[in-house]
Amino acid sequence: MSFGWSLNDVVTQGSKRSKMSHHVPTITSWDINDSLAADFDGSLSGLGSELGTTSYNMSEALLALPVFKSENLDNGFQYILGAATSPAVKLNEETLTYLNQGQSYEIKLKKLGDLSDFQGKYLRSIVKICFHERRLQYMEREQIDSWRNTRPGERILDIDVPLSYGLVDVNIDRDCLNGTEFIWDPTKETGVYVRVNCISTEFTAKKHGGEKGVPFRLQVESYTYEDRDNKLIHCGSCQIKVFKPKGADRKHKTDREKMDKRTEAEKEKYQPSYECTVLTEVPLDQVANIATPSVSVSVKSPNNSFANLTQSFSDMHAGSPIQKKPQADEDDDSSSCNGGSGSSKKLKSSSSSDDLNTAVSLKGKALTCDACAQEVTAWLQANRFSSYKQIFQNFSGADLLRLTRDDLIQICGLADGIRLNNALQSKAIRPRLIIYVCQESDSVYHALYLEHLTSQELLEKLAKLYNVSGEQIGELYCQGPSGIYVLLNDEVLQNMSEQSRFCVEAMKSETSDQYKVLLKSIS
């Protein structure tokens, strides 16, 4: 896995539209060393100096970009990352972009030139994170496997589906942590939002604090779709470094302060900071040699339904235990292998029915310390933790209950770790209202926890507290101003103050065997 980056491959970038207001002469062949500084250095100097105080506008940044090479306008692609480049990069070096861990960044995709041949056709693109250093490129698989062991259940690269637009379908391979693929229409405006969940220092050799993080490459490959050969037609990439949240902003500030201390002559040797990053084209013969086989080439048929796109994302992150379509395919294969008798299908149906009954019986129940490994697996399945069954396959109930909240967050991630900890601890749902009641002759109060805030719920809890039937309580009243009786309905209950205290008084109805219950407020 190697890259050859020559000066002629660097695509010039720009920033705010106001900086490009002067006339740019038509150039057919660009010589970076001789012409770039003379033509554009004066107009582009200082761009990005206000990066920390201005809001980012992708559309404005795109309008401000200079023209690309003329040979790429007829049959080329344009990938633009919505993140600023570093101002501390020399003119003869490739741009470097800083990203925050877990933050969503837009990659805008566009097919340049004549689009008549792409009407009604789709393209398949793969976005992935690779290593920039040759040493780590040879160890990529080992490095990713090591990261997987330390961060089980997490991915290096994710697509933020709700923010993305123009996508037809997304296919996320669980085994490929550093890449994902999607289908898009080149005739429509398309943007995919990605999140990088690892940081550059996680792959440094020695971790004593203060180490310089390794650079990554954010790479986008585009292939033909609905063709048997799945031909690679374009590839672009850029150099990035990933920091902990807010770390990229601090790094930008540090770089600007360093540049401010340099003389004007020294500043001329460095590139200005641009508001967005243009991915540099990679020769296709190099991509063929470095293509990672871990990214699946099988994709689902696009049907222009964004609901399916969201579903594929949900299946990936929620760990859906039942996927109906693959199950149907397996049943059909089993049936054909048995001569169409369908006996295997019936066996699977019976087995799945038993699993479903077990899951229903364990749903919402607490896991006991004497549960065996099989019971732990069934409990995880019943409580929507099926994606972690393999991780905890050898854990007994006692083993799982010994794990602390921090342990579970480290294993399952923040959201699922907190949810699993709450399920293991059998934490009750926080009530919407708590009131305290007692009888006139009693000085001990009883707490009533209300979750639905209805008068019927309060009636049932009072009946249970005083060991009477709910039918014996006719109406509920609360004492209002000047001692008046106010009918206690749902609206009155919903406006009660939290942790109010009441004295309960029961009055026998004159017309029936029911009681009227009065709640007297105690200040």
* Predicted pLDDT at 33: 46
The sheet with strand 77-81 has its strands ordered as: 157-159, 190-196, 104-111, 77-81, 277-278
Q: Which of 236-250, 285-299, 445-459 has the lowest mean pLDDT?
A: 285-299
Residue 520, strand partner residues: 503
Contact 167, 190 (CB under 8 A): yes
Between 493 and 523, residue with greater pLDDT: 493
DSSP code string of 141-169? HHHHHHHHHHSTT--SEEE-TTT-BSEEE
305, pLDDT greater than 70? no
pLDDT, tens only, 388-421:
888 888 888 888 888 888 888 888 888 888 888 8
Stretch 163-168: mean pLDDT:
91
pLDDT, tens only, 437-481:
998 878 889 999 888 889 888 988 888 888 888 888 888 889 888
Return mean pLDDT, the chain.
74
Question: If we measure between CA atoms, which residue out of 235, 349, 350, 342 comes closest to residue 288?
Answer: 235
Distances in whole angstroms, Cα of residue 48 to Cα of each of 20, 45, 272: 14, 9, 7
As a dihedral over the C-alpha atoms of residue 153, residue 159, residue 161, residue 162, rounded to 10 degrees, the angle is: 90
Phi and psi torsions of 79, nearest 5°: -115, 125
pLDDT, tens only, 39-64:
444 444 444 444 443 444 544 444 44
Residue 307 CA, chain-centre distance (Å), reads 17
Stretch 283-311: mean pLDDT:
46
Between 210 and 293, residue with greater pLDDT: 210
Confidence of residue 346 (pLDDT cuts 50, 70, 90): very low
Contact 153, 391 (CB under 8 A): yes
pTM exceeds 0.85, yes or no: no
* Predicted pLDDT at 209: 61
Each as own residue / partner, the long-range contacts of residues 461-464 (CB below 8 Å, 24 or more positions apart, any chain) are 462/437, 462/504, 462/517
